[in-house]
Amino acid sequence: MAEQHPSEPASEPPSVLWFRRDLRLGDHAALMTAASHGPVTALFVLDDTLLASSGGPRTAYLFRTLRALDADLRSHGGALTVRHGTPQDVVPALVQEIGAAAVHVSADFGPYGARRDERVAAALGEVPLVPTGSPYAVAPGRVLKADGTPYKVFTPFYRAWSEHGWRRPADSDPARVTWLVVDGDAIPDDPATDAELPEAGEAAALETWKAFQENGLRHYAKIRNRPDLDQTSRMSPHLKWGTIHPRTMLVDLEGGNDAYRRQICWRDFYGQVLHHWPSSAHDYFKPDMKRMRYDGGKHADEAFETWAKGETGFPIVDAGMRQLLAEGWMHNRVRMIVASFLVKDLHLEWTRGARHFMDHLIDGDLANNQHGWQWTAGTGTDAAPYFRVFNPVSQGEKFDPTGDYVRRWVPQLRAIPGAAVHQPWTQDEPPADYPPPMVDHKVERLEALDRLKAISRET
């Protein structure tokens, strides 16, 4: 059981720490703020609006994370109070129930989260909703150009962000928090999912991070694009749910490891893009690109399904799509390859692919996902030049040169050795249970370039 902190008068009113996507106890600035004012009740709200936009694997992963957080709290004499409902009802109700003096949160900069927090703050009336910290190394809005406007290009943002620096990790020893336990709803059973999910929770985050620092980090710059070697950090689900704070990681990197630091910065970059342009979650960042001609109708729907199931006949694409279904996760290089294929080979709108990713990724983060897709589609910040169309065969040969990645996820191709697996149709006897390529990449590449040129011709 946690001891009452000696310097805290017992008369201090409690406060609520409302967890959202910061599901940890270490390096948690808002928790420390709350704890410094008296006893703390740990709350998580099961918000149907958010759950409705979350696919089964991500929801399952969230529930597991919540169970891990609850277990961590219990080992410190607390417990996670889970309440099902609308935050603007649930949060004030709990405040009233325990006579809380304040509600503490990590700031949420997403379009929905920001609006939700405004409503909750209004519903709380006199009781303040106090934001301390955010899920980002540097909070959106902090890194601006000299003229006070936000960056739209990554590299200058990265320079300014590096110079800006970040705070030291908050000294949040959960043993020093006095918890006030309140009844709540049970954490629901995991929704059914076929995906095999990684370990959830703060301890798993720290272990994964430690293992990556010992094994993968040294070679990260060299092999991060190699899905066959599978040596990336796998930290994305933990960053998504805040079982670790990026600042904790940056401090461990000690200013070195530029390649990995840039990846953390991309997350901050897209977070601030979405903060400054909230509609960019669904609208084209480059409005001209709205005039792009996409395929529609039944044929397009069927093509989409073929892509989603991983039956395109392009091995690297199919391997990626099958990994997504199997693990709720996909290697980043392969995300770009499958995205390019959907947009530029199948001529389908990027929003369809983005939605599919959000339905299946356990790390599905609105800012990263939508802007990653917009980048590939050439509609976003720093968009790829029009002529940059990935060739799924050469990408496979280049980044999965052993062919191990394809063979792992596409069992029908396991008999083909080495990089030859990327062109099964050149085999004397192509596997009968693997489909032929659904399109001629050469033809569709030119078609994609034509459609892009049509846009500039109209201007």
Partner DNA sequence: TTTTGAGTTGTTCGA
Partner DNA sequence: GTCGAACAACTCAAA
Minimum Å distance from CB 296 to DNA?
24
Residue 294: which residues within 8 A CB-CB, separation 6 or more?
300, 347, 348, 349
- Under the binding rule (CB under 7 A), the answer on residue 456 touching DNA is yes
Residue 382: CB minimum distance to DNA, A: 3
Nearest distance from residue 375's CB to DNA, in Å? 5
Among the listed residues 384, 413, 438, 439, the single contact to DNA using CB under 7 A? 384
Tell me the closest approach of the beta carbon of residue 392 to DNA, in angstroms. Answer: 8
Q: How far is residue 260's CA from residue 250's CA, in Å, rounded to a whole number?
A: 9
List the interface residues with DNA, window 222-251 (CB under 7 A). Answer: 225
- Count residues binding DNA (CB under 7 A): 40
Span of 123-131, 383-391, 410-418, 425-433 interacting with DNA by CB under 7 A: 383-391
442 lines the binding site for DNA (CB under 7 A): yes
Q: Does 414 help bind DNA (rule: CB under 7 A)?
A: no
Q: Does 391 bind DNA (CB under 7 A)?
A: yes
The answer to whether residue 276 forms part of the interface with DNA (CB under 7 A) is: no
Q: Of 329-368, which residues contact DNA (CB under 7 A)?
A: 332-333, 336
Q: Which is nearer to DNA, 127 or 384 (CB)?
A: 384
Contact status: 423 vs DNA (CB under 7 A): no
Establish if 266 lies at the interface with DNA (CB under 7 A).
Answer: yes
Identified binder of DNA from the candidate list 6, 99, 125, 385, rule CB under 7 A: 385
**117 to 146, contacts with DNA by CB under 7 A?**
145-146
Shortest distance, CB of residue 448 to DNA, whole angstroms?
11
Nearer to DNA, 120 or 264 (CB): 264
162 binds DNA (CB under 7 A): no
Site residues (vs DNA, CB under 7 A): 145-146, 149, 151-157, 159-160, 225, 262-263, 266, 332-333, 336, 372, 375, 382, 384-391, 394-395, 398, 441-442, 445, 452-453, 456, 459
